[in-house]
Amino acid sequence: MADKIYIPHRYGSYVYETKESKWEIDYMLISKRCVNECVVDDVLYSHDRVMNTLRAYDPNQKSWRVVEGVEELLARTICSDWSYTVRYGGNLALLFRRPGEIWCAEISLERRLGGEIWGKVEWCDQVLTGNFKVLKSLSVMV
């Protein structure tokens, strides 16, 4: 994001500035629990399963925001024991597990005045049946 490499970790989040070859600590990034995150348009997204919110971190403003408009989708994830966010084209895909099923939702994102980020669920459906676990999610450009 913005010529920097972000390494979020529960004990400290680090930023490597590639142009200046130096390391920094980003205290705001570690202020929220961030796992299985992805980047879409220079914003870091993460599904906070504890608070059941989709969070967005803007490195330019060094602030976290809650993505609005996806509350109905997130209500479906309450029973999920894991979730992953993945860049899907210019959108965000949210993979999550329900008992015996893996679900995927595509969310388009819109930045509004004042820095708000709104999501719109383009589709959400069950993609696998069975007792599976996703070990890693990757964004692929074909």
Stated pTM of the model:
0.84
pLDDT digits (tens, 9 = 90+) for 63-89: 899 999 999 999 999 888 889 999 998
Tokens at residue 36, please?
Answer: 């299985």
Write the CA distances from 114 to 40, 46, 61, 102, 117, integer angstroms.
19, 21, 11, 35, 9
- The verdict on residue 94 lying in a domain is yes
Is 26 among the domain residues?
A: no
- Which pLDDT value is given to residue 140? 66
* 3 state DSSP class of 74: helix
C-alpha 96/C-alpha 47 separation (Å) is: 10
Q: Would residue 62 count as lying in a domain?
A: yes
pLDDT value, residue 110: 96
Any domain includes 11: no
Q: Give domain status of residue 58, yes or no.
A: yes
**pLDDT less than 50: residues of the chain:** none
Total domains in the fold of the chain: 1
Domain membership flag for residue 103: yes
**Which residue in 18, 17, 13 sits closest to 35, CA to CA?**
13
Is residue 68 included in any domain, yes or no? Answer: yes
Range of the domain at 85: 35-129
